[in-house]
Amino acid sequence: MSHDTAIHSLQGRRYLVTGATSGIGQAVALALCERGAAVVALGRRPEALQALADAGCETHALELTDSAALEQLIEATGPFDGLINSAGITHVESALTLPADAIDDVFHTNARASAVAARCVARGMIAAGRSGSIVNVSSQAALVALDDHLAYSTSKAALDGITRALCLELGPHGIRVNSVNPTVTLTPMAQKVWSAPEKRDPMLAAIPLGRFAELEDVVEPILFLLGDGAKMISGVCLPVDGGYTCR
């Protein structure tokens, strides 16, 4: 497949993007629009949804943990050629003091909502006879232990488990399922969180490439996994971490 063919393989296809009002999800939604795909973008921030609408996305405000509302919206807006599960929250706290409610909140958004979205999108794809690709935005925290990340790490490890389970079940229908597992990615929020040298420098020292990920460093692998250039890749949890997890 030529480079041009791989780029154009997203044109005219229809994708659902969750967590589209910030960070990786927003960047993916905009990149898909730029490449000629039709995008249905879900998020919670009205002003960010308006910016996506102005860029050509169909937008919907939704609380993803409301499974019934999520299912209804997917049934009403599908079928799709793929899904990018980018919605995620975190709660950074010692495992010794982490409240049970915080664990539930993180799991409900990062794992359960992603599983619900994936199965609903997949059902529509199968009914319409469409093959395609689902990409879950996981984390390096699913692959290695990080201090104070019990809820986040285990929720993202669960998401990687969802990726593998869906790969097995959906493969016979021509639907591929993969995860990307980024390191610290310099969204506006991350830039603030990781600006303090005492926090930033030890993490950078553990990344062989010596830098954090920019948004495009994560977006481009996602677009690759969605496109025809990755048509034999499924069930992969792909570190996008500058080598952090090689240790």
CATH class of 3-185+215-235: alpha beta
pLDDT at 14: 98
- What pLDDT, on the 0 to 100 scale, is given for residue 189? 75
Of 214, 200, 204, 215, nearest in space to 243 by CA: 204
Average pLDDT of the residues in 91-101: 93
Average pLDDT over residues 90-101: 92
pLDDT recorded at residue 194? 85
pTM: 0.94
Q: Is the pLDDT of residue 4 over 80?
A: no
* 220: number of Cβ within 10 Å: 13
Active site residues: 152, 156
Higher pLDDT, 3 or 66: 66
Q: How confident is residue 193, by pLDDT bands cut at 50, 70 and 90?
A: confident
